[in-house]
C-alpha cells in the first residue's frame, strides 16, 4: 500500500450535500464538529483542517487532533472501553524493531538482534457493539472520507475481518510495546483512558526511508539516545493519525493499577480485507468463522500483505 503525495479531489454536488447533512446529524455529540468540521470538507474550515493535517504529516509523520471527541462525551467514551476491557486477550513475546528473526551474522548490538518484551491485550471488534461511540465513528462514511483525504488516498474501507477492524488495545501494569515499525503505511488511534504512569508514545520521525534502514541511527535510539525522539502527551478523546512505517516508535511500560486504553481504527485500501488466521489466533486468542473458512480453502487472498 502506497500513499499519494497529494490527495484526491473532494466530491461535490447536491447528493454529497444531502449525505453530509445526514452524517453531521449522526456524528453530532460524538465528534467536536465545530473544531473539526469533517462533515463539510468542501468549506473553508474543512479545507484548512485537511491542509494543516497534511502539512504536519508531511513534516513529522504524525498528527494529533486534541479532544476530537467533545468534553460532554468523554466520560461515556471511557466507560465504553472500561466495560469492554475484561474481554481483552493478552499475548506476550520478544520482538525486534522489524518483527523478524535475529541474524547470527550480525553483531549482538545490531538492531536486528535487539529484542524487547511486547505484552499487549486486545479486545476484538466483534465484542464492540453498535451503540458505542467508537463503533459509530469507525463506520461513519464521513470519518472515513476525512481520513482518506488526509492521508492522500482515493478511499479507504472497513475491514471485512470481524476481529481486527475495530480493536481496543488494553495495557495493564507492566505492559508495553517496544521499539518497532508498522507494516501498514498509516494507523488511526484514539486514546480513551490514561494510565497512572508510563504508557508514553515516543517516536523518531522518518528515521528510515525506502532508500535505507539507517541501522546506525536506530542502534543509537536503542542505546538510549533521545536526541531524535518526540513524546506525545495523549489525553482521552485525542485522535492520532500516524505514519509508522518509517518512524521508529514505542509505548513505554505502563505503571500503576490504572489501565491504558487506546482504540485502533483499522482500514484497508481495498474492500474485503481479512487478516491471516494465525495472526487472529495469536492476537485475539481465537479465530472467527471467516478465518476458519480461509484455512479450509487454503488461505486464498487477493493480496500478499505481511500482516
pLDDT digits (tens, 9 = 90+) for 45-86: 999 999 999 999 999 999 999 999 999 999 999 999 999 999
pLDDT of residue 164: 96
Question: Where are the domains positioned within the chain?
Answer: 23-296
Q: Is the predicted pLDDT of residue 4 greater than 50, yes or no?
A: no
On whether the pTM is more than 0.85, the answer is: yes
pLDDT digits (tens, 9 = 90+) for 120-168: 999 999 999 999 999 999 999 999 999 999 999 999 999 999 999 999 9
pLDDT of residue 263: 98
pLDDT band per the 50, 70, 90 thresholds, residue 24: low
pLDDT of residue 300: 53
Can you tell me the distance from the alpha carbon of 238 to that of 78, in angstroms, rounded to the nearest whole number?
12
pLDDT of residue 118: 96
pLDDT digits (tens, 9 = 90+) for 5-20: 222 223 333 333 334 5
pLDDT of residue 20: 52
Give Cα separations from 94 to 115, 132, 159, 179, 278 (angstroms): 6, 34, 27, 11, 17
Q: Calculate mean pLDDT across residues 98-108.
A: 96
Q: Is the predicted pLDDT of residue 100 greater than 90, yes or no?
A: yes
Class of domain 23-296: mainly beta
pLDDT, averaged across the chain: 90
Amino acid at each position: 500500500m502506497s500513499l499519494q503525495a497529494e490527495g484526491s479531489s473532494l466530491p461535490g454536488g447536491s447528493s454529497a450535500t444531502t449525505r453530509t447533512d445526514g452524517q453531521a446529524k449522526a456524528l453530532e455529540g460524538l465528534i467536536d464538529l465545530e473544531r473539526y468540521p469533517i462533515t463539510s470538507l468542501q468549506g473553508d474550515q474543512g479545507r484548512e483542517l485537511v491542509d494543516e493535517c497534511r502539512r504536519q504529516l508531511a513534516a513529522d509523520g504524525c498528527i494529533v487532533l486534541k479532544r476530537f471527541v467533545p468534553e460532554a462525551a468523554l466520560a461515556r467514551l471511557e466507560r465504553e472501553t472500561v466495560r469492554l476491557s475484561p474481554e481483552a486477550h493478552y499475548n506476550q513475546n520478544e520482538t525486534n524493531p522489524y518483527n523478524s528473526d535475529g541474524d547470527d551474522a550480525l553483531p549482538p548490538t545490531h538492531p536486528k538482534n535487539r529484542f524487547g518484551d511486547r505484552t499487549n491485550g486486545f479486545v476484538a471488534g466483534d465484542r464492540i457493539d453498535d451503540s458505542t461511540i467508537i463503533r459509530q465513528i469507525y463506520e461513519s462514511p464521513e470519518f472515513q472520507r476525512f481520513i482518506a483525504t488526509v492521508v492522500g488516498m482515493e478511499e479507504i474501507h472497513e475491514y471485512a475481518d470481524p476481529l481486527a477492524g475495530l480493536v481496543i488495545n488494553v495495557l495493564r501494569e507492566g505492559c508495553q510495546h517496544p521499539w518497532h515499525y508498522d507494516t501498514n503505511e498509516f494507523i488511526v488511534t484514539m486514546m480513551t483512558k490514561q494510565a497512572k504512569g508510563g504508557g508514553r508514545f515516543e517516536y523518531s520521525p522518518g528515521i528510515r526511508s525506502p532508500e535505507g534502514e539507517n541501522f546506525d541511527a536506530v542502534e543509537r535510539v536503542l542505546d538510549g539516545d533521545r536526541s531524535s525522539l518526540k513524546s506525545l502527551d495523549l489525553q482521552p478523546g485525542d485522535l492520532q493519525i500516524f505514519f509508522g512505517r518509517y518512524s521508529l516508535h514505542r509505548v513505554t511500560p505502563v505503571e500503576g493499577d490504572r489501565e491504558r486504553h487506546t482504540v485502533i481504527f483499522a482500514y484497508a485500501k481495498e474492500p474485503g480485507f481479512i487478516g491471516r488466521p494465525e495472526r487472529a489466533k495469536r492476537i485475539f486468542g481465537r479465530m472467527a468463522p471467516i478465518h476458519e473458512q480461509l484455512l479450509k480453502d487454503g488461505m486464498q487472498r487477493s493480496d500478499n500483505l505481511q500482516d
